[in-house]
Homo-oligomer: A and B are copies of this chain.
Amino acid sequence: MSSVKAQQAARTRQRVLLAAAEVFDEVGYEQASVTRIVERAGLTLGALYFHFGSKQGLAEALMNAQPTTIEPHLESTGLQRMVDITLVWADRMERDPILRAGVRLAVEQGSHGMNDATSFEEWRELMRGHLDVARRAGELREGTCPDRLARFLVGACTGLQIYSNLAAGRADLMERVCDMWDLLLPSVASEAVARGVRVDPVRVSSR
> Chain A: residues with CB nearer than 8 A to chain B?
28-30, 104, 107-112, 115-117, 120-121, 148-149, 151-152, 154-167, 176, 179-180, 183-188
Beta-carbon contact of A151 and B166 below 8 Å: no
Cα A163 to Cα B176 in complex, Å, equals: 19
Task: Report whether A187 and B179 are in contact in the complex, using a CB–CB cutoff of 8 Å.
Answer: no
- Other A-B contacts than A107-B108, A148-B179, 5 sampled, CB-CB below 8 A, are A107-B162, A121-B167, A154-B163, A159-B160, A186-B187
Q: How far is the CB of A128 from chain B (nearest CB, A)?
A: 14
With both chains docked as a complex, state the minimum distance between the C-beta of A113 and any C-beta of chain B, in angstroms: 8
Identical chains bound together, number: 2
Please tell me which one of the listed residues B28, B152, B159 contacts residue A158 in the complex, with CB atoms under 8 A apart.
Answer: B159
Question: Which of A28, A110, A163, A185 has the most B CB atoms < 10 Å from its CB?
Answer: A163
Please tell me if the beta carbons of A163 and B117 are within 8 angstroms of each other in the complex.
yes
CB-CB nearest in chain B for A180: B152
Q: Which residue of B lies closest to A116 (CB)?
A: B166
